[in-house]
Amino acid sequence: MFIAQAIRDDFPIFKRKVNGYPLIYFDNAATTQKPRQVIDAEQDFYENHNANVHRAVHTLSQEATELHEGARETIGKFIGAKEPAEVVFVRGTTEAINLVAYSWGLRNLKAGDEVLISLMEHHSNIVPWEIISRLTGFTIKYANVNSDGTLDYKDFEGKFTKNTKLACLSQVSNVSGVINDVKRVAKVAHEHGALMLVDGAQSVPHMSIDVRDLDADFLAFSGHKMLGPTGIGVLYGKKALLEKMAPFEGGGEMIKEVSYSPQSEGCGISWNAPPWKFEAGTPNIAGGVGLAAAIKYLQRLGMADVFQHEKELTEYAVKKLQNCCTKLALYGTTNPALKCGIIPFGVEGLSSHDVALFLDNYGIMVRSGFHCAQPLHQIFKLQSSARASFYIYNTKEEIDRFIEVLKEMEQF
């Protein structure tokens, strides 16, 4: 088990103060801080290897290509992909889901078909399907969420029919931290001949993931939520599916051949093989290098220990929060066995933004708003919530300070 206090030295940002107080960063579900190892990896690429990939025979291009494809291999092994070709580089979870919606959904879903989505999803796993449904006419079914924020499995699984073509589910809710049994749902989906898309934005950074064990057809996640840079993410897709899908964007890199024919007065086009046919244009090479460095950092810590550390912090924080203030409310389940390190809360008489601004005065960073998940807030009967979320560098001492400031807030 690693010691969070010891690894904080790897993160330059924790040397600064905010409003005169040591920085306490509890907004990790939005994005995580970056260790020196990730920063150095990106800097080394730009200082020593910067060139475009797959496009030249000179030394720098060959080095850049090796780093780029090496990052793909590292990421693939991290999530249990069968081969690197199942790893598509994208900007983040949002683009990954949009890629599936446009490359697969737009061409495979029609009137009479159904897509099944839970009501706890992030907007990025709702809005693309709503857009595509208005273009092709398929039906979206929404599965219920219980009042404590847990998934209503009976309702979800009961909504599958012979017309269901795709099920979409987040492995971990970005609002409540609830962990969903996506392996169970994938099994039911496949029994009905449907595909399974997993939003792994809040799970891949925090627990061991094996896409083959889950039997996920698609998995989407973002680098910046797991110590990596912004602007880089991954869509995992089973190779057989990716081979049948059309490209999401057109341009360089994603084609095998473009040939002009005077007779037809047009160009014949053949696509590159996956994953490159989904990666039009110059990729975020440095971002991929940074993400690979982040994964290696997490692997050195051990994902089992990362998960256990967060579970301990969550259990500790929940017990403290339940007894600290009469006007403080916790939303969703408080059972640490059912969730990751995310705790939504509110203070009676204050908006979530009031709470966040008060905490910010003391150098404590939390998220406020509806966290791009309005349907779940409607289930909780809330306009918004404050959210504390933990990661590898957070400590029980920081939680104690958080509690002290909440007590001051209540007195104020």
What's the half-sphere exposure (Cβ side, CA atoms, 13 Å) at 220?
22
CA 160 to CA 5: how far, in whole Å? 47
Backbone angles phi, psi at 229, to 5 degrees: -75, 165
Q: What angle do CA 274, 279, 283 make, to 5 degrees?
A: 135
Sheet containing 233-237: which strands, arranged edge to edge?
87-90, 233-237, 218-222, 195-199, 164-170, 114-118, 139-143
381's tokens: 């009967």
CA 333 to CA 310: how far, in whole Å? 16
Burial class (CB in 10 A: 0-12, 13-18, 19+), 6: exposed
Catalytic sites, residue numbers: 372
What's the half-sphere exposure (Cβ side, CA atoms, 13 Å) at 397?
6
CA 95 to CA 268: how far, in whole Å? 28
Of residues 186, 193, 200, 183, the one with CA closest to residue 121: 200
115's tokens: 């897509």
On whether the CB atoms of residues 92 and 231 are closer than 8 A, the answer is: yes
Burial class (CB in 10 A: 0-12, 13-18, 19+), 57: exposed
Burial class (CB in 10 A: 0-12, 13-18, 19+), 45: buried
Of residues 82, 31, 93, 111, the one with CA closest to residue 211: 82
